[in-house]
Amino acid sequence: VQLQASGGGLVQAGGSLRLSCAASGRSFTSSTMGWFRQPPGKEREFAAAIRWNSGNTYYADSVKGRFTISRDNAKNTVYLQMNSLKPEDTAVYYCAASNVNYVSSYLARITSYDYWGQGTQVTVSS
């Protein structure tokens, strides 16, 4: 199983980026996919999640209204569209996949996810 994250970069505050996470090695149609981020010197934190079969989405309060998670079934790829970026969004962003469709209250837990991508750096300048 492989998760390949891409799309990070340097952007000015107020700008946008779209991250991609290409999944391979197995079908994830019964899984939940998540995006987490780790700011410099801080712990990894939940950003967004999507249930692959239903398309239901979940967001951390800090990104709600600015970030949108989506998936493309044909490409086995999950996206994170990030708009109105702020310097505090600077972090390494990781995609993750869970074998289990946990209840929504579990989706922000790192331990709910079984597979992780390598991370992609997002830097937002002020």
Single-letter amino acid code for the residue at 116: W
From residue 45, alpha-carbon distances to 24, 27, 29, 53, 92 in Å are 24, 25, 24, 24, 10
Q: What percentage of residues in the chain have a pLDDT greater than 90?
A: 83
Give the pLDDT of residue 119.
94
From residue 8, alpha-carbon distances to 20, 32, 43 in Å are 9, 22, 19
- Per-residue H/E/C for the chain: CEEEEECCEEEECCCCEEEEEEEECCCCCCCEEEEEEECCCCCCEEEEEEECCCCCEEECCCCCCCEEEEEECCCCEEEEEECCCCHHHCEEEEEEEECCCCCHHHCCCHHHCCEECCCEEEEEEC
Question: Hey, how many other C-beta atoms are within 10 angstroms of the C-beta on 70?
Answer: 14
Q: pLDDT under 70 in the chain at which residues?
A: none
> Which residues, 6+ apart, have CB-to-CB distance to 103 below 8 Å?
none
Question: Tokens at residue 52, please?
Answer: 């692959």
Q: Is the dihedral of CA 104, 106, 112, 117 positive or negative?
A: positive
